[in-house]
Amino acid sequence: MKILLIHSEGVEVVKNKQATSNPQDFPEKVIKMDGLVLVAYVSVEDQDTYDTDMIAKQGAQVIEDAILQISGFPEKIRQENEEVRAHNKKIESKTIKGNLRNLKELIKDPEMYRVDKILVYPWAHLSKFLSNEANAMEVCPKIAQILKDRGIEAGFSPFGWYKSFKINCIGHEIAEMYRDVKLYIQPEEHITNAEFKILFPSGEEENIEFDDNKNIKPLENIKDEDFFLFIKSELGSKREDKSVEPVHISVMKDFELVDFDPNSDKGIFRWYTKGMIMKNLIKNFIEDRLIDYGALLIDTPIMYTVKNKKLTAQTARFPARTYWVESGRDRFLLRFASDFLLFDMVSKMNLKSHYFPLRLYEFEQYDFRREMEGELSGLRRLRGFTMPDLHTLCKDLNLAVEEFIKQYKLIRDLESDLGIESNVVFRTTKEFYKDNKEWIVKLLKSENKSALLELWEDRYYYFVLKFERTVLSAQNRTATLATNQIDVESSLEYMVDNEGVKRQKYDIKFTDDDGKQKYPIILHNSPTGGVERILWGLIESAIKNKDKIVPGFRTWLSPIQVRIITISDEQTQYAEKLLDIISKESYRADFDDRNETIGKKIRQAEVEWIPYVIIIGKKEQENQEISVRKRLIGKPFGPKKATVEQFKNWKLSQLLEMLENDSKSFPKYKLPKPLRKFSTKVYFRK
Phi-psi region of 328 (alpha: psi -120 to 50; beta: other; left: phi over 0): left
Question: Residue 508 is which amino acid?
Answer: I
Max Cα distance, the chain (Å): 105
Q: How confident is the model at residue 50 (pLDDT cuts 50, 70, 90)?
A: confident
Q: How confident is the model at residue 186 (pLDDT cuts 50, 70, 90)?
A: low
Residue 77 clears pLDDT 90, i.e. is over it: yes
What's at 57, amino acid-wise? Answer: K
Task: Tell me the average pLDDT across 190-203.
Answer: 84
- The Cα–Cα gap between 142 and 79 comes to 36
User: What gap in Å lies between CA 304 and CA 357, rounded to an integer?
Assistant: 27
pLDDT band of residue 190 (cuts 50, 70, 90) is: very low
Residue 34 has pLDDT above 60, yes or no: yes
pLDDT for 19 beyond 80: yes
Is residue 94 predicted with pLDDT exceeding 70?
Answer: yes
Whole-angstrom Cα distance, residue 45 to residue 128?
8
Q: Kindly report the number of other CB atoms within 10 A of residue 306's CB atom.
A: 23
Task: Give the full edge-to-edge strand order of the sheet including 351-352.
Answer: 351-352, 510-511, 517-518
- The gap from C-alpha 476 to its chain's centroid, in whole angstroms, comes to 20
Q: Is 218 helix (H, G, I), strand (E, B) or coil?
A: coil
According to the model, what pLDDT value does residue 160 have?
95
Which neighbouring-strand residues pair with 199?
205, 451
Task: Count CB neighbours of 560 within 10 A.
Answer: 22
Phi and psi, residue 407, nearest 5°: -75, -25
Tell me the Cα Rg of the chain.
Answer: 32
Contact 494, 504 (CB under 8 A): yes
Q: Is pLDDT at 189 greater than 80 in this prediction?
A: no
| Residue 207 to residue 219: CA distance in whole angstroms | 8
Q: What CA–CA distance (Å, rounded) separates 161 from 21?
A: 10
Q: What is the DSSP string of 431-450?
A: HHHHHHHHHHHHHHHHTT--
How large is the average pLDDT for residues 392-398?
97
Length of the chain: 686
Contacts 24+ apart (CB under 8 A), 575-582: 575/614, 575/616, 578/614, 578/616, 578/626, 578/652, 579/676, 579/677, 581/652, 582/652, 582/656
Long-range residue pairs from 458-461, CB within 8 A, at least 24 positions apart, any chain: 458/190, 458/429, 459/429, 459/488, 460/187, 460/188, 460/189, 460/190, 461/187, 461/188, 461/190
Q: Give the global pTM.
A: 0.86
| SS3 of residue 494 by DSSP | strand
Q: DSSP readout, 35-70? A: EEEEEEEEE-BGGGGG-HHHHHHHHHHHHHHHHHHH
Average pLDDT over residues 336-350: 93
Q: How far apart are alpha carbons 269 and 27 in whole angstroms?
A: 58
* Range 623-639 average pLDDT: 96
Q: Considering the chain, what is the average pLDDT of its residues?
A: 93
The pLDDT of residue 686 is above 90: no
Contact 119, 33 (CB under 8 A): yes
Cis peptide before 357 (omega within 30 of 0): yes
CA distances (Å), origin 134, targets 139, 502, 644: 10, 20, 73
- The pLDDT confidence band at residue 244, using thresholds 50, 70 and 90, is confident
Q: Residue 274 pLDDT more than 90?
A: yes
Q: What is the pLDDT of residue 344?
A: 94
Calculated CA dihedral for residues 376, 250, 230, 411, nearest 10 degrees: 90
* DSSP states of 345-382: HHHTS-EEGGG-SEEEEEEEEEEE----GGG-BTTTB-
* Res 319: pLDDT: 65
Q: What is the mean pLDDT of residues 521-538?
A: 97
- Mind listing the pLDDT tens digit for each residue in 455-495? 998 888 889 999 999 999 999 999 999 999 999 999 999 88
What type of residue is 238? K
Mean pLDDT calculated for residue range 102-126: 96
Distance between CA atoms of residues 487 and 328, nearest Å: 36
352 and 510 Cβ atoms separated by less than 8 Å: yes
Domains and CATH numbers, the chain: 2-72+113-180 (3.50.80.10), 195-300+337-538 (3.30.930.10), 545-675 (3.40.50.800)
Could you report the per-residue pLDDT of 308-322, keeping only the tens digit for each?
877 776 667 666 688
d(CA 341, CA 451): 33
- Give yes or no for residue 399 having a pLDDT over 90: yes
Percent of the chain's residues with pLDDT above 90 = 83
- Closest residue by Cα to residue 317 from 345, 337, 346: 337
Residue-wise pLDDT for 215-243, tens only, equals 888 888 888 899 999 999 999 866 666 67
